[in-house]
Structure 1
Amino acid sequence: MVAEHSPLRVGIAGHIHLAPGSERPIADALRVELDRISDRPVHGVTCLAAGTDQIFARVVLATGGTYEVILPALDYRDTIVEPSRADFDELLARATRVIHTGYRHSDTAAYLAANRELLSRADRLVAVWDGIPGCHAASTDRTVDEARQRGIPTTVLWPAEARRADRRP
């Protein structure tokens, strides 16, 4: 139970590779959801991955909230592809707290640890997910499943205008 004066702690999970034109509808959907679940600014919990996580951090800031960042591994920043690395740096600097999982290298084990840490710090989870199962143990669908197994209230958003980026060669 969240104390009366404490902000609601909202974790985020979602797609990294989003098609052009998806950011605005996702941001709008996140704003609506944050307003629906809390009558005051929230405290977000994010890994600041490209795509959904960075959109979420910006929405949290725009609505007067704060956020903390879970870094999956020491080399995590190096795994982020431009142009989102500059966004990552800017958003990381605005975090109220940065938590390191202790992993050296960004891999599935590090991402799983980060997702578990995120869920341990969240009162609820919001997932920006198209409903298609992922291809590894740290995919959005697995995070949603784990949150639900833990009894964490979970909302899945996927605006009609949102699309995943085509990652085929």
Structure 2
Amino acid sequence: MDEQRDVAGVSCIADGPDSWFAELVLERGGTLEVVIPAEEYRESLPADHQPLYDRLLSRAAAVHRTGMTASDSAAHMAGSEVLVGLSDLLLAVWDGKPAWGYGGTADVVGYARGRGVPVRVVWPEGAER
């Protein structure tokens, strides 16, 4: 008998891999928890992404907030710290290069590793950022 594991995902549901991950979790019957880095976060996302953000947010089983207002790099890192704290494993779509600015993927991966959270890096061969 195959035992199916419950799938739970945590995401800030930014445009790109964050949202793709959230969609896959929900498509597979999993539970989505959303971390909102700042009260102004939604407005800082690309306008064409906001409808998907709203749909995913409406399907969240839980929503976690940092309490910050401005959607800046400090808030994004704080949101990532909350996300890591809620996670048993961090999936990182990352090319292994330094972050472009504070709170980028390199910083989040380093934070997770420093907290003992396993990290699985996904980077397709030939992909470029």
Structure-1 separation of matches of 2:7 and 2:59: 15
2:76 equivalent in structure 1: 111
- Does residue 153 (structure 1) correspond to residue 95 (structure 2)? The answer is no
1:62 to 5, 27, 37: 27
With normalisation by structure 1, the TM-score equals: 0.71
Return the offset for 1:99. Answer: 1.1
Q: 1:3-152 maps to which residues of 2 (within 5 A)?
A: 39-152=4-117
RMSD: 1.6
Unmatched runs of 5 consecutive residues or more in structure 2 = none
With normalisation by structure 2, the TM-score equals: 0.91
Identity %: 44
1:127–1:156 CA contact under 8 A, matched in 2: yes
| 1:101-144 Cα shifts (integer Å, max 9, x gaps) | 10011011111111111111111111011222112220101111
1:75–1:104 CA contact under 8 A, matched in 2: yes
How many residue pairs get aligned? The number is 127
Q: Secondary structure at the match of 1:102?
A: coil
| 1:31-72 Cα shifts (integer Å, max 9, x gaps) | xxxxxxxx5232111111111100000111122211111101
Q: Give the AA of the match of 2:27.
A: A
Structure-1 separation of matches of 2:19 and 2:37: 15
Stretches of 4+ aligned residues off by more than 3 angstroms: none
Unmatched runs of 5 consecutive residues or more in structure 1 = 1-38, 165-169
Structure-1 separation of matches of 2:16 and 2:128: 11
